[in-house]
């Protein structure tokens, strides 16, 4: 992380904290629930700032929070706050650091190809073929959980799963629903570290 990026991360988080600090003051009209959310976000921002200052590695959730805080400066095209150029730079950096799912990667490629009216159809076909190969039937390849449903990588018991249900439509009305199978199961701790704290207690039980 270069010094300019570092300084900009600290700037956007501090700037956002300043706004939120005003919003949580006793005389503010904000309801208690939103005040509480602001307080938690301020703490998260402070933690990111501390880690950036120490040169520690950031996690994906940090990048999302930085992206959110940077947005106002990114949209400030008239440069009223004087940070537009830096915001564009920071946004590019966050893009580079953010992990993509295969679906997101595919979408980005498609969008770029769409911009060029000369992209031949076979390029799209090639892209879709690669996508199919990367995710046969959208199933995750290889065992990811042991017999007891624990993640083979980290041992956590908590996972998110998608199911595909089949519904019978007659006209626009659903007549029947067949409960589907699990098509996609992911360890929350490994794949959604930002959401894991919410479920962490299950692993401790
Ligand atoms: Zn795991």
pLDDT tens sequence across 66-103 = 999 999 999 999 999 899 999 999 999 998 898 888 87
Cα 14 to ligand 1 centroid, rounded to whole Å? 33
Whether residue 54 is predicted with pLDDT greater than 90 in this model: the reply is yes
Distance set, CA 146 to CA 25, 142, 150, 154 (Å): 50, 11, 5, 11
User: How many whole angstroms from 179 Cα to the centroid of ligand 1?
Assistant: 27
* pLDDT of 116: 82
How many whole angstroms from 5 Cα to the centroid of ligand 1? Answer: 31
Report percent pLDDT > 70 for the chain. Answer: 96
Q: Which residues surround ligand 1, an ion (CB under 5 A)?
A: 151, 153-154, 156, 187, 189-190
Cα-Cα-Cα-Cα torsion 148, 151, 156, 161, nearest 10 degrees, comes to -90
pLDDT at 49: 97
Ligand 1 mean position to 204 CA, how many Å?
A: 14
Residues 13/69, Cβ–Cβ less than 8 Å: yes
Count Cβ atoms below 10 Å from residue 41 Cβ, excluding itself. 17
Residue that the structure tokens 């959401």 belong to: 195
Distance from the Cα of residue 121 to its chain's centroid: 31
The pLDDT assigned to 138 comes to 56
The whole-angstrom separation of Cα 112 and Cα 115 is 5
Token pair recorded at residue 33: 């629930």
Distance (angstroms) between ligand 1 centre and the Cα of 143 equals 12
> For residue 142, what pLDDT is reported?
52
Q: So what's the pLDDT on residue 90? A: 96
Q: What is the SS3 assignment for 186?
A: strand
pLDDT (mean) for 116-139: 76
Distance 148 CA to ligand 1 centre (A): 13
């Amino acid at each position: 992380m270069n010094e300019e990026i570092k300084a900009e991360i600290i700037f956007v988080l501090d700037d956002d904290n300043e706004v939120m600090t005003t919003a949580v003051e006793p005389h503010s009209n904000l309801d208690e629930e939103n005040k509480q959310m602001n307080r938690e976000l301020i703490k998260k921002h402070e933690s990111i700032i501390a880690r950036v200052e120490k040169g520690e590695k950031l996690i994906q959730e940090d990048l999302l929070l930085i992206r959110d805080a940077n947005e106002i400066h990114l949209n400030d095209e008239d440069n009223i706050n004087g940070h537009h150029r830096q915001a564009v730079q920071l946004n590019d950096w966050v893009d580079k650091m953010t992990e993509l799912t295969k679906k997101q990667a595919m979408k980005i490629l498609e969008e770029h190809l769409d911009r060029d009216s000369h992209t031949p159809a076979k390029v799209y076909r090639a892209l879709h073929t690669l996508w199919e190969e990367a995710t046969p039937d959208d199933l995750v390849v290889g065992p990811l959980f042991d017999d007891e449903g624990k993640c083979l990588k980290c041992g956590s018991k908590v996972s998110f799963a998608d199911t595909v249900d089949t519904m019978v439509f007659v006209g626009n009305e659903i007549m029947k629903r067949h409960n589907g199978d699990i098509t996609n199961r992911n360890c929350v701790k490994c794949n959604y570290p930002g959401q894991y704290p919410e479920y962490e207690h299950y692993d401790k039980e």
